[in-house]
Structure 1
Amino acid sequence: MKVNVTVIVGIAAGSAGMIIGAILPKPVEKYGLAVVTGSTENTPVMKEYTSKLQPLLEKAGCKRITRDYDTLFVEGRGGPMTVIVSCKGATEKEGVAFYNSPEYQKLIKLRAPYTNWQFRLVQASF
């Protein structure tokens, strides 16, 4: 049986690359997260809130990770809704500035009569 040296070298190089890639530390990325839990009334106002919020999130470089209206509770109190928004590279200070911005404060006034939310800003690295 004839051995193809090129194939052997290719397999060895690919294997070495996979092993080294698995061993080398990966850069840690930081995220600002908004975690919202609670209850929300089903009303057209909330659709308006969401449609106005989306451009603000995009402008800030954020995206919604999840929106679950029937979160499985295993402990604690609150409503069945959970929303998590991720902003890559954002700091807590930037999250507070977004929350306190005139644009978002208008949206709070719009949604407040229809929501009972717990709103958290979280720093994460992964």
Structure 2
Amino acid sequence: MTFLMCNEQSEIFRGWYRWELNNGVKWFNVRLRVDNGIKDYVAHFDGIYDGPNVDGFFAVKYSATLLLRERPVPSEERYAEMHLLGGLTVEEALAEIQNINTHWVPYGPDSDYYVMPPSGRQVAGVADG
């Protein structure tokens, strides 16, 4: 997670981390945006943050890993809905996840970005294998 703030907020952040969170050990409430939307979580820092790093004239950046008390997973109802709509068995879904790690292709001829085409589709100019 990355925190971007002004100088005054940076001082408050460091004080909050030290005095309110006992050097990041205590749990705290945080609103996060993850792939399934924005939700409130209970979290704590996994070790010390990285920073402060100056980012522009007035911005200070910190980064840290947060541990969440509850993982952001779909509800059982949402999982069942996705599973039925996708028409995949659990084994097929796991195989698709495995493909994510092995079938990335360049977004364009000179691109530094990579994408994974939908299962079973060929991408023009990209050899299979």
Q: What TM-score bracket applies, with the shorter chain setting the length? A: under 0.3
Structure with the largest fraction of helix: 1
TM-score normalized with structure 1 length:
0.27
Structure ranking higher on relative contact order (CA contacts 8 Å, 6+ apart): 1
TM-score normalized with structure 2 length:
0.26
Q: Return the index of the structure with the highest Cα Rg.
A: 1
